Amino acid sequence: MTILETKDLKKIYGSGETAVHALDGVDLQVQNGEFIAIVGTSGSGKSTLLHMLGGLDRPTTGSVSVDGKEIFSLKDEELTIFRRRKIGFVFQNYNLVPVLNVYENIVLPIQLDGKEPDAEYVDKIIKTLGLETKLQNLPNNLSGGQQQRVAIARALASKPAIILADEPTGNLDSKTSQDVLGLLKVTGEKFSQTIVMITHNEELAQLADRIIRIEDGKIVGGAK
């Protein structure tokens, strides 16, 4: 089942002479349960693509469908709610809420929805990521790797349709990167999540099921 699809996605910054075509007509399809890596050099448009996929920024033209829903037909508030329920993010700089502890960070999207977290499920995630002893800690009290694991837990906790990871190991050393990426893959399989990951590192990209290459705003390989 196609869980993510884009049609002729374009994002243009500026106008006239100084127009920058960050995305220049991207067509993409992702199936449920796949682990996709999007690879490209700096300035290739991969971050922009991810932001589009997650509904964080609006395209100039084109459409994105998540779980059958065209997300840009929604208004801002509806889009936010959709994102809360259907999309999980993992960022390069973790982006945890500094004033909340680890547990609160993990269940935040669920609570924002007004729902009770599925305690068993959340426990499983926490165990899988090895965070049991750190639940009361504040983010500034954790190492980079630990913070990233919290971010992954947060992304998983709300059982989203897809998880979008933007250079998840960008700020981590090589050993920690291996660990974190391994966890990402394992949890993705265990909890049957679709993962779309951005990276510029070919080695890390090999862990994915499929590699999509992007250059100058266009897909140059692996689109299917």
Interface residues toward another protein, by CB under 8 A: 47, 51, 56-57, 76-77, 80-81, 83-85, 89, 91, 93, 95, 97-100, 104, 108-109, 111-116, 154
**Shorter beta-carbon distance to another protein: residue 88 or 188:** 88
DSSP 43-87: TSSHHHHHHHHTTSS--SEEEEEETTEEGGGS-HHHHHHHHHHHE
Q: How far apart are CA 186 and CA 199, in angstroms?
A: 18
Between 113 and 189, CB nearer to another protein: 113
* Closer Cβ to another protein, 84 or 185, answer by number: 84
d(CA 100, CA 86): 22
- β partners of residue 28: 6
Nearer of residues 75 and 175 to another protein, judged by Cβ: 75
- To another protein, the closest distance from the beta carbon of 206 in angstroms equals 26
Task: Indicate the angle between helix axes 76-86 and 102-112, nearest 10 degrees.
Answer: 130
Cα 25 to Cα 12, 53, 73, 149, 224, distances in angstroms: 10, 14, 19, 34, 15
CA distance 190 to 193: 8
| Residue number with CB closer to another protein (95 or 128) | 95
As to burial, measured by CB atoms within 10 angstroms (0-12 exposed, 13-18 middle, 19+ buried), residue 200 is middle
Nearest-5° angle of CA 97, CA 102, CA 106? 75
Minimum CB–partner distance for residue 96 and another protein (Å): 8
Q: How many CB atoms lie within 10 A of CB 88?
A: 26
- Is residue 119 within 8 A of residue 195, CB to CB? The reply is no
Which CB sits closer to another protein, 160 or 188?
A: 160
